[in-house]
Amino acid sequence: MSGQFCENLSRLEEKLGYKFRDPKWLETALKHKSALEGRDGECNDKLEWLGDAVVGLFIADYLFYNYDKPRSWLSLMKSKWASEECLARVARRIDLGSFVKLGKGEEKSGGREKDSIISSTLEAVVGAVFVDSGSYEATKKVLEKIFLKEESLEFLFLPLNYKGLLQRWCLQKMECIPKYEVIQEDKAFPRYLVGVKINGKIVAYGEGPNKKKAEQAAARQAWEALVAENHRPH
C-alpha cells in the first residue's frame, strides 16, 4: 500500500474508533467492484454481505432492549433503519465516500455520492471489523460510535425521504413506480390532500401545507403500511 493510502486508512480507523490487526480487511472493504475494471480480484461484495447481517443484528439488538413494542413495529423500524438511505446517512457522517476505491466510470458519474455505493461500503467496513476482531462486541462498539452520536437512533433517522423509500420498495417488490395525485387543494389555508397510487390504486393519503410535504406524508403512510404487511406473520 502507498503511504498516502495508509494515511487514509489511519484517518478512517480514527473515525471508526478501531485499529485493524490486518489492514487488508479494511482495504478490501473499501474496494467497490467497479475498481476491478473487469479484472479478476477481490472487491467488497462478500464483506458487504456479512456486514449487512451484523448491522441488522445491531439494530435488532438496540430495538429489542430499548422498546417494549410488538414484533410488527420492531420489524418495521428495523427495515427503516437498515434501509439504504439511512445507512448512507451514517456513512456520510464519517465521510466514507472519500475513502472508497472506484472504477473510472463510477468516479466520473459521482459514485462517491451515491447512496447505494456508500451504504454498501459501510456494510463492508462493518463486515471487515467483524472478521478482523472476531468479535460481535468489538464490532458493536464501532457501530455505537458511528450510529449513536446523538441520544438515540431516532435522532439520526428523522426526517426520512419516504418517497425515496417507497419508490425503492415498489421497484423491488412490485416492479412499478408510485404516482401522486392531488385530491383536495385549499390555497387560502393552505392545505393539500394527496393520494399515492400503486399500480393505479390509491393505497394511502397524506396532508400538508404544500404538495411536497403532502406527498411525503402519503408516502410515509403507504410505506409503513406496506412494510408492516410484508412483515406480518403468515
pLDDT digits (tens, 9 = 90+) for 176-223: 999 999 999 987 778 999 999 999 999 999 999 899 989 999 998 998
**Which CATH number covers residue 40?**
1.10.1520.10
Cis peptide before 178 (omega within 30 of 0): no
In this prediction, residue 6 carries a pLDDT of 57
- The answer to whether 123 is annotated as binding is yes
d(CA 225, CA 227): 6
Q: Quick check: 153 pLDDT over 80? A: no
Domain co-membership, 90 together with 136 = yes
Residue at a domain's end among 157, 177, 200: 157
Residue 29's pLDDT band (cuts 50, 70, 90) = very high
Domain co-membership, 25 together with 137 = yes
Residue at a domain's end among 157, 186, 217: 157
Q: Quick check: 83 pLDDT over 90? A: no
Task: Concatenate the DSSP letters of all residues of 75-124 into one string.
Answer: HHHHHHHTSHHHHHHHHHHTTGGGG-B--HHHHHTTGGG-HHHHHHHHHH
Active-site choice (27, 84, 115, 123): 123
Domain co-membership, 61 together with 112 = yes
Domain co-membership, 83 together with 178 = no
Domain co-membership, 11 together with 110 = yes
Strand partners, 191: 186
52 is catalytic: yes
Task: Give the C-alpha distances (Å, rounded to integers) separating 5 from 98, 101, 138, 177.
Answer: 12, 10, 24, 41
What is the value of pTM for the model shown? 0.69
Which is more confidently placed, 41 or 177? 177
d(CA 68, CA 227): 20
- The answer to whether 7 is annotated as binding is no
How many domains, in total, are found in the chain? 2
Q: With beta carbons less than 8 A apart as the criterion, state whether 219 and 198 touch.
A: no
Domain co-membership, 141 together with 171 = no
Residue 2's pLDDT band (cuts 50, 70, 90) = very low
Domain co-membership, 134 together with 28 = yes
Task: Give the C-alpha distances (Å, rounded to integers) separating 180 from 126, 164, 203.
Answer: 37, 13, 11
What range defines the domain where residue 142 resides? 3-157
45 is catalytic: no
